[in-house]
């Protein structure tokens, strides 16, 4: 039943109440203008699958230089140091007083020679969604003075090149914004009317697409669709559109590779975690570990097609400053388990004052260092002398409570 509801909601969000094909959003840049990143050495055949992985990988000629997330504010010299496989220096946003939203912590490090450049990408944004107002039979127009904001974090682990990850880091949150624009007025209504959901188009019991939104009478009984279901449908549909856009660019040889995508959206008091690939997210709350994602690998390709979005209601708990949501690419999780991450959370945060906003960046750095290890004669080693991660490692630490977390 839930899958049917989600499918109907995704249809609702994507069609906007029309049965004709979706027009391209004017707010999304033409992807063909995106220059591909420097060609990369492909990863092994067991490389993770995610968005943009449906078409065969193809390496293209380099026309762009190595790039890192803009919020790192790296100088040309800093970019060179970040691209050094031998030193593997941990990179974090500069401590200039201008912090990421919610005082989010972030740290990353390049691989130990697995690929030419760091194929991970990251994005952290506050996104304003302007609603569209529609009248029956008339085209939709932007609504004035109304809108919503959502907070957005994304980790993108590229494979067979960094182009897809770089592209997704710039565009996926825009796709989510576009999918939410049709829902602004509904989401602002604390008690919206039930939606009439179609069964199979063209069969008895299905509704005319023009009657999808609103308290319309249908042949079939109406089913309640919550705000949460609508937001999930919007996120799922955005992932699909991003995947389709990436596939077009791969066919045109404008973007190489594919990428895993781990995304967090905070909207109206709830945290939505969506994952395609083997990056992972967990909540550490008062010592308790709450998994917030499921890994998808080539062996679970069928499940990959059913994007999992998990929801966490922040309003249901009184969080302390030590409660965090940890996002990491597989470079973190390959050598570190949930319990070790939780232990690091407790150890690092206990050394900082609760109102010290730099504590979350320090935690992200500790998690990266704990998986990277230190250089020894036989490679990068952990304290127990086991091999550290030779992969790119990227980590977000999002505080769920404490002063100023939600400002």
Going by pLDDT thresholds of 50, 70 and 90, the confidence category of residue 13 is: very low
| 102-150 pLDDT, tens digit each | 999 999 999 999 999 999 999 999 999 998 865 444 445 555 457 999 9
Q: Coil, strand or helix: which one is 131?
A: strand
- What is the overall mean pLDDT for the chain? 77
Query: How far does the chain reach from its first CA to its final CA, in angstroms?
Result: 37
CA distances from 382 to 18, 111, 193, 223, 323 (A): 56, 15, 56, 54, 26
User: Are the beta carbons of 243 and 48 closer than 8 angstroms?
Assistant: no
Model-level pTM greater than 0.85? no
Nearest 5°: the CA angle 51, 52, 54 is 105
| 346-372 pLDDT, tens digit each | 999 999 999 998 999 999 999 999 999
| Total length of the chain | 407
Other C-beta atoms within 10 Å of 250: how many? Answer: 24
More confident residue, 214 or 319: 319
Can you tell me the distance from the alpha carbon of 82 to that of 135, in angstroms, rounded to the nearest whole number? Answer: 52
The residue among 324, 319, 318 whose CA lies nearest residue 360 is 324
- Asked whether residue 203 carries a pLDDT value surpassing 90, the answer given is no
User: Are the beta carbons of 166 and 132 closer than 8 angstroms?
Assistant: no
What pLDDT, on the 0 to 100 scale, is given for residue 84? Answer: 95
Backbone angles phi, psi at 364, to 5 degrees: -60, -45
The residue among 182, 177, 158 whose CA lies nearest residue 66 is 158
Element (DSSP H or E) covering residue 105: strand 105-109
Can you tell me the distance from the alpha carbon of 150 to that of 126, in angstroms, rounded to the nearest whole number? Answer: 6
User: Are the beta carbons of 121 and 139 closer than 8 angstroms?
Assistant: no
User: Are the beta carbons of 273 and 263 closer than 8 angstroms?
Assistant: yes
Structure tokens at 351: 């050394």
Going by pLDDT thresholds of 50, 70 and 90, the confidence category of residue 65 is: low
Structure tokens at 182: 């049709």
Can you tell me the distance from the alpha carbon of 235 to that of 177, in angstroms, rounded to the nearest whole number? Answer: 9
Can you tell me the distance from the alpha carbon of 93 to that of 87, in angstroms, rounded to the nearest whole number? Answer: 18
What pLDDT, on the 0 to 100 scale, is given for residue 225? Answer: 82
With a CB cutoff of 8 Å and minimum separation 6, the contacts of 407 are none
The residue among 138, 133, 241 whose CA lies nearest residue 181 is 133
CA distances from 195 to 10, 132, 138, 344 (A): 13, 18, 20, 46
Element (DSSP H or E) covering residue 163: helix 163-181
């Amino acid at each position: 039943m839930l899958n049917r509801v989600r499918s109907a909601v995704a249809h609702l969000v994507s069609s906007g109440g029309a049965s004709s094909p979706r027009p391209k959003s004017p707010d999304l840049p033409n992807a063909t203008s995106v220059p591909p990143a420097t060609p990369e050495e492909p990863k092994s055949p067991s490389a993770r699958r995610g968005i943009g992985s449906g078409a065969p990988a193809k390496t293209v000629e380099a026309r762009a230089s190595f790039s890192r997330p803009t919020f790192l504010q790296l100088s040309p010299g800093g970019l060179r140091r970040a691209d050094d496989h031998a030193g593997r220096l941990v990179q974090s946003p500069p401590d200039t007083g201008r912090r990421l939203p919610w005082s989010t912590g972030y740290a990353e490090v390049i691989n130990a020679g697995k690929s030419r450049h760091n194929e991970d990408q990251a994005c952290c944004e506050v996104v304003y969604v302007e609603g569209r107002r529609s009248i029956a039979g008339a085209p939709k127009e932007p609504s004035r003075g109304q809108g919503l904001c959502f907070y957005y974090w994304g980790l993108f682990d590229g494979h067979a090149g960094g182009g897809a990850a770089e592209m997704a880091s710039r565009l996926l949150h825009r796709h989510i914004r576009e999918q939410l624009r049709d829902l602004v007025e509904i989401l602002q209504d604390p008690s919206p009317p039930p939606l009439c959901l179609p069964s199979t188009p063209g069969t008895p019991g299905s509704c005319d697409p023009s009657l999808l939104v609103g308290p319309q009478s249908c042949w079939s009984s109406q089913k309640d669709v919550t705000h949460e279901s609508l937001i999930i449908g919007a996120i799922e549909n955005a992932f699909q559109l991003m995947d389709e856009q990436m596939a077009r660019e791969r066919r045109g040889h404008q973007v190489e590779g594919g990428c895993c995508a781990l995304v967090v959206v905070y909207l109206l008091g709830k945290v939505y975690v969506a994952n395609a690939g083997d990056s992972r997210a967990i909540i550490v709350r008062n010592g308790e570990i709450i998994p917030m994602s499921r890994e998808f690998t080539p062996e679970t390709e069928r499940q990959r097609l059913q994007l999992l979005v998990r929801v966490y209601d922040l309003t249901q708990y009184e969080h302390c400053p030590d409660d965090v949501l940890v996002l990491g690419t597989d470079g973190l999780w390959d050598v570190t388990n949930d319990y070790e991450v939780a232990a690091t959370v407790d150890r690092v945060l206990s050394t900082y004052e609760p109102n010290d906003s730099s504590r979350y960046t320090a935690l992200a750095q500790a998690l990266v260092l704990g998986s990277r290890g230190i250089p020894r004669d036989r490679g990068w080693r952990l304290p127990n002398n086991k091999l550290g991660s030779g992969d790119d490692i990227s980590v977000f630490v999002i505080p769920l409570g404490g002063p100023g977390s939600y400002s």
